[in-house]
Structure 1
Amino acid sequence: MSGAAEDNPLEVVEICAGAGGQSLGLERAGFRHRLAVELDEHAARTLRHNLVKVLGYKEKEAEDTVCIGDVADPKVWNPDEHKGVDLLAGGVPCPPFSIAGKQLGASDERDLFAWAVELCGRMRPKALLLENVKGLSGNRFTAYRKHVLDRLQEYDYIAEWRLLQADQFGVSQLRPRFVLIALQEEYAKHFHWPEPHAEPPPSVGVLLRDLMAEGDWSADRLKTWVDQADSIAPTIVGGSKKHGGADLGPTRAKAAWEAMGIDGKGVADVPPGPKNPRVEGVEHPMLTTKMVARIQGWYGKEFADWEFLGKKTAQYRQIGNAFPPPVAKALGTAIKLALLKEGAERPLVEASEATLDPVYKLLHGRKRAMTVEQMVVKLASSGRPLEQPEVERRLAHLGHDFELIQKPRSNGEVAFLLGGFKAFLGQEDHERHELFAQNRAKIS
């Protein structure tokens, strides 16, 4: 049994498990992995290694627990073998919703969020935990989120969204994540979101002082750097296989790192110092992967022993793409208390508090097509006025995630009907299969 396991631990099936950030947090919360599925071989090997080294699994048990391959490929695993598991969890790919990307949503071959919701309906776990980037919480995806909530309600789950920040749970990094938790009704009334820590996390300087001291710095130079790095880190990004080596993020992030006395254009092999190899023209030291892992939450007696396998860039991507273990533990603990019915009962509010796209609400379920002008008039009469350009913009957004049927009229105007949801839900003939095969080497 694992070190975190109890006599009768709750069980979790984890999809898109990565190198184990969420896995470790859930194990520390008291869950035992029945299965973990991961596409990237480096990350899967890291997870298997640490199931044995850190969590006490037997070698064969870890081999059987971590499954490598496309999570949506029926040849990789059979969800029907895990019906009724306590928890289905995962961090499905972020690029479909990332502000740094094109935000294609359901039109992106990497989008597995809606598929994971259908998987929940198929497997019928007691609880569902999905996390993604902050972009999914934006206005662009209000209709997408509403569709997700509608489907979960059809499957008799009570679902809630919440935007959480890693620094609220002891991680020295902002890292906002949009989290969806859904539970069967008998457990949902016992669920409470975890409370943020009372104390803020340590600054980057304080957090990394001992690791920086391993380099050949003078005591005065080290103190100067610790004093300069007096804030938490910007969001660590793992990047993808489409790009080159490891770096600490886009231009704005690099500027924040520079303000703390850190060069964000790369990751170092060894702790910095005047006598260590330096990059020509670089004024500030670079972080090592060990330092980045600590900033990501692999820190303290519960989380620090995790080892990352592979070369430096592979390690950095595993770390940067992970869900911080302390946040995963906080969420896992809250879910566990609900499943054990130990949380105080609360009244259930099934309606989402998220703002609903008024154009989606207007067109959803409607049988007769509407022109943009008709939509403007109808929205004004319902107390949610939108100008024509805004209606057209929202229609363009809806067209990424839904079939938008256009019906020309004799006067030259075009009327619109809202068709089916475009997202991959497991369909055998969905274009996702071909696009995934074409881009398999670039997807991480």
Structure 2
Amino acid sequence: MIESRYSAVEICAGAGGQALGLHKAGFITSLAVELDPAASETLSRNTGVRVAVGDVADDAVWRPAEYEGIDLFAGGVPCPPFSIAGKQLGSSDERDLFAWAIEQVAVIRPRAVMLENVRGLASTRFSGYRQRVLDRLAQLGYVANWRLLHASDFGVAQLRPRFVLVALSQDDAPYFRWPEPTPTTVTVGNLLRDLMAAGGWPHADEWAAMAAGIGPTIVGGSKKHGGADLGPTRAKQVWRSLGVDGRGIADAPPGPDAPPPTVTHPRLTIEMVARLQGWSEGDKWQFAGRKTSQYRQIGNAFPPPVAEAVGRSIVTALNHDGLPHHTPQLSADVHDPVYRALSKADGYVSIEALASALTEHSIADVEQRLAQLAQDFTLDVDVTATGTAYKLGEFRGFTGQTNHQRHEFFERHRNKVS
């Protein structure tokens, strides 16, 4: 482990997967903020980091201004607003904290930002949302962009795509390079073979040969849903092909009298799921709470090896190591030219002008993008004899407003928010 030199604040910190990876990359976490008491206990028990427990947007829990000038502002804000497994409500989902987190960058003024979420945020549905984030960071003096990273490219035996946002100051951004995928031969079988054999099961080698592949994404889920299992029907089918019963989590590995995997597939234990998520035996991580809570903590975590890889790239940029890019890898792509055209206009923009902002696209394409934008922003429409024009209105999302509907929702459903 390298010597830590840079400071970090982490929000929505969960069970510490990101905190562990960032520590290995060279960061000291000054504060972690987490809503779930069990995950907070896991963090405290394993890291010794100061943990603020409660709603991250509550000034009574922590005050972002007290951490002005921190080196890294990081977190894994709630994913249900963007998940393809949900309704993809985006800013209309009261759990959405992405826009709020971006506003804290204006308060904390860190040198670097790292926020991660599900791949659903990379979809066309959220192109305007992403563009708003990038434009706001540019206003604050940061160079930023997203990258879809797969955990299996960083030594983790599951696919687990994560959409990662990195932003750096203009001085540091030219030295940033996204981490390169690392070829690996790790499989579910060779990773978990020793744990499957730990109870004296004589068929562990046979099972490991069956499990010679990468597992699907482990789904932690939310407090709204039931107990611990390995995901939806399609995921369970993949697990079955790897010799794993995905309908639940076992309390212990198979014993000496357990049948061979060709007769009965074994279930994974909490320890096995944690290893699949990227915790190693040497981390000696202990998860607080009951089995379902432990599984949810692990399943919702950012895999430590991926956090470490991105963290090391950020450290390289903060150190100004290597040659600077004339065109930084973080140069902000235009994710939504229709949003960009509307946001820069002083008044209404005709639909024909919006169509010209798209390359080789039609009026129908613009109308589809406008319909998507209308889910996250108010859109004013002006219909005249000469045609239809649009003006971008208010963003619907929570950015810290005292009168936002999120506050009422949170108070009414506090025990179900995750």
The match for 1:37 is 33
User: Would the alpha carbon gap of residues 44 and 382 (structure 1) be closer, same or farther in structure 2, given more than 3 Å must change?
Assistant: closer
The match for 2:280 is 299
Matched, 1:12 2:4: no
User: Would the alpha carbon gap of residues 386 and 196 (structure 1) be closer, same or farther in structure 2, given more than 3 Å must change?
Assistant: closer
Corresponding letter in the other structure for 2:220:
G
**Secondary structure in structure 2 of the residue aligned to 1:317:** helix
Q: For the Cα contact (< 8 Å) 1:406–1:414, is it kept in 2?
A: yes
User: Would the alpha carbon gap of residues 396 and 261 (structure 1) be closer, same or farther in structure 2, given more than 3 Å must change?
Assistant: same
How far is the alpha carbon of 1:382 from its aligned partner?
5.4
Matched, 1:142 2:127: yes
Q: For the Cα contact (< 8 Å) 1:246–1:317, is it kept in 2?
A: yes
User: Would the alpha carbon gap of residues 201 and 81 (structure 1) be closer, same or farther in structure 2, given more than 3 Å must change?
Assistant: farther
The match for 2:254 is 272
1:57-94 Cα deviation digits (max 9, x unpaired): xxxxx4xx111000001111011111000110001011
**After the TM superposition, which residues 147-186 of structure 1 pair with which residues of structure 2 at under 5 Å, given as runs?**
147-186=132-171
How far is the alpha carbon of 1:343 from its aligned partner?
3.5
The whole-number CA distance in structure 2 between the counterparts of 1:266 and 1:234 is 15
In the superposition, the TM-score normalised over structure 2's length comes to 0.93
Q: For the Cα contact (< 8 Å) 1:84–1:125, is it kept in 2?
A: yes
Q: For the Cα contact (< 8 Å) 1:14–1:90, is it kept in 2?
A: yes
How far is the alpha carbon of 1:393 from its aligned partner?
2.9
Matched, 1:200 2:179: no
The match for 1:335 is 314
Q: For the Cα contact (< 8 Å) 1:11–1:33, is it kept in 2?
A: yes
User: Would the alpha carbon gap of residues 44 and 404 (structure 1) be closer, same or farther in structure 2, given more than 3 Å must change?
Assistant: same
**Secondary structure in structure 2 of the residue aligned to 1:189:** helix
The match for 1:401 is 376
1:291-330 Cα deviation digits (max 9, x unpaired): 00000000154x3x11111110010001000001111111
Matched, 1:257 2:257: no
User: Would the alpha carbon gap of residues 107 and 277 (structure 1) be closer, same or farther in structure 2, given more than 3 Å must change?
Assistant: farther
Q: For the Cα contact (< 8 Å) 2:142–2:169, is it kept in 1?
A: yes
The whole-number CA distance in structure 2 between the counterparts of 1:16 and 1:277 is 42
The match for 1:70 is 55
1:186-238 Cα deviation digits (max 9, x unpaired): 111221212222x31411011110011123422xx322211110101111110
How far is the alpha carbon of 1:172 from its aligned partner?
0.9
The whole-number CA distance in structure 2 between the counterparts of 1:228 and 1:209 is 11
How far is the alpha carbon of 1:362 from its aligned partner?
4.1
The whole-number CA distance in structure 2 between the counterparts of 1:414 and 1:185 is 39
How far is the alpha carbon of 1:425 from its aligned partner?
1.0
User: Would the alpha carbon gap of residues 419 and 312 (structure 1) be closer, same or farther in structure 2, given more than 3 Å must change?
Assistant: same
Which 10-residue stretch deviates more, 398-407 or 238-247?
398-407
The whole-number CA distance in structure 1 between the counterparts of 2:195 and 2:213 is 17
The whole-number CA distance in structure 2 between the counterparts of 1:109 and 1:201 is 41
**Secondary structure in structure 2 of the residue aligned to 1:330:** helix
The match for 1:423 is 397
How far is the alpha carbon of 1:380 from its aligned partner?
5.3
**Percent of aligned pairs with the same residue?**
55
